[in-house]
Amino acid sequence: MLEQRGLRCAVILNDQGDELVDMRHADAQGMIARAVTGGCFCCRFSVLMAIMDELRTSDPDVIFAEPVGSCTDISATVLGPLREEFDRFRLAPFSVLVDPARSAELLNDEADSDLAFLFRKQLQEADLVCISKADLYPDPATIPRLNAGGSGPAARHLSAKTGQGVQEWLDEILFGSLEAEATTLEIDYARYARAEAALAWLNLNFNLELAFPLSPALVVGPFLDRLDEALTRAAISIVHLKVFDSSATGWLKAALCANGEEPTVEGNLDASAASRHELLVNLRAKGDPAQVREIVEAQLRQLEAEALDVRLDCFSPAAPKPERRVPRAKLG
């Protein structure tokens, strides 16, 4: 939408791991994209600054930066330091994207305490809450005010699928009167570390050699379904599961954000069959990394094809240690 207005855009992605489905997706669509890997923006702030400087050669008008989904305290550890370092950039209001189904689950009294802790903290520092999937949830539950006093952040309903509300959101954060408030949280970093450590982070990359050629859709669909079913049987909650298939006939990305959820699919759905596929899997789940790894390895063994050049990494994030943290007094 911005490019249709003549604005040049870039994307900076972020992850605790090293190989990202979203980077493959961005590259496949010709986006100007970079990634801060091996830690969150706050813990790799100097790398983020270096990438922002590097992007100046592409002369973007707008840079979208997406922190790791388990991170919080972004205002104090990322936005505040950026204000001090980069007077040539204007920071937009901090948008926090919310899945309506996940929101209803995590704001429930019986929600998983670790995931709920992270989710509530993320909402507390939002300037603008963007409730996604408006095409599926036209009347989502209201996001409650989680800070004491005041009216809370503004909320908007969006749909990436239909485009509903996206133009209005862009107008508001880029050209409107809404300002970045830089809400600094009071956060217990020991509690924050325990919440992140309860998550398993798995990245898997492999080549698949098929005896009988299949389309990307017929490779990704069954593999995703079986992995979802195996994790569900083990009572491991999926935070997000993404698969990217690249073949000579086209590419396909499939993603889901909860056990049993219908995946969203993008790419060459009509791509013809191919004998060789490269698959990249990003799984974030609430569970023990060793158990998650065992389940994924079992699914690899059940493939009716040969998996070659397998690279698999599974771990829990280390305790967050921000490079910098700007106190509230400096953010005013």
C-alpha separations of 247 from 33, 185, 206 in Å? 21, 45, 12
Q: What is the amino acid identity at position 132?
A: S
Mean pLDDT check: name the lowest of 152-156, 213-217, 234-238. 152-156
Separation between Cα atoms, residue 37 and residue 66, nearest integer Å: 12
Q: Phi/psi class of residue 68: alpha, beta or left (left: φ > 0; alpha: ψ in -120 to 50)?
A: beta
- Rounded Cα–Cα distance for residues 267 and 25 (Å): 9
pLDDT digits (tens, 9 = 90+) for 255-280: 999 999 999 999 999 999 999 999 99
List of E strands, 257-319: 264-267, 274-286, 306-315
Rounded Cα distance, 330 and 25, in Å: 38
Decide: 320 and 40 in contact? Cβ < 8 Å: yes
User: What does the pLDDT read at residue 87?
Assistant: 75
Judged against a pLDDT cut of 60, whether residue 151 lies above it is answered with no
How far apart (Å, rounded) are the C-alpha atoms in residues 95 and 225? Answer: 32
Sheet holding 274-286, edge to edge: 264-267, 250-256, 237-247, 274-286, 199-214, 306-315
Tell me the HSE value of 42 on the side-chain side, using a 13 A CA sphere.
22
| Res. 201: pLDDT tops 50 | yes
Q: Indicate the pLDDT class of residue 152, thresholds 50, 70 and 90.
A: low
Domains within the chain, CATH numbers bracketed: 3-195+320-331 (3.40.50), 199-315 (3.30.70)
Q: What 3-state DSSP class applies to 91?
A: coil
**Rounded CA gap, 169 and 159, in Å?**
11
pTM of full prediction above 0.85: yes
How large a percentage of the chain has pLDDT more than 70? 95
Question: What pLDDT, on a 0 to 100 scale, did the predictor assign at position 300?
Answer: 93
- Name the band, by pLDDT with cuts 50, 70 and 90, for residue 228: very high
CA separation for the pair 328, 332 (Å, rounded): 7
Residue 135 CB burial class (10 angstroms; 0-12, 13-18, ≥19)? middle
List, for residues 304-325, the tens digit of each pLDDT value: 888 999 999 999 999 999 999 9
pLDDT recorded at residue 179: 80
Distance CA 4, CA 315 (A): 41
Nearest to 2 by CA among 31, 44, 45: 31
Q: Identify residue 305 by its one-letter amino acid code.
A: A
| Contact in structure between 292 and 314 (CB atoms under 8 Å) | yes
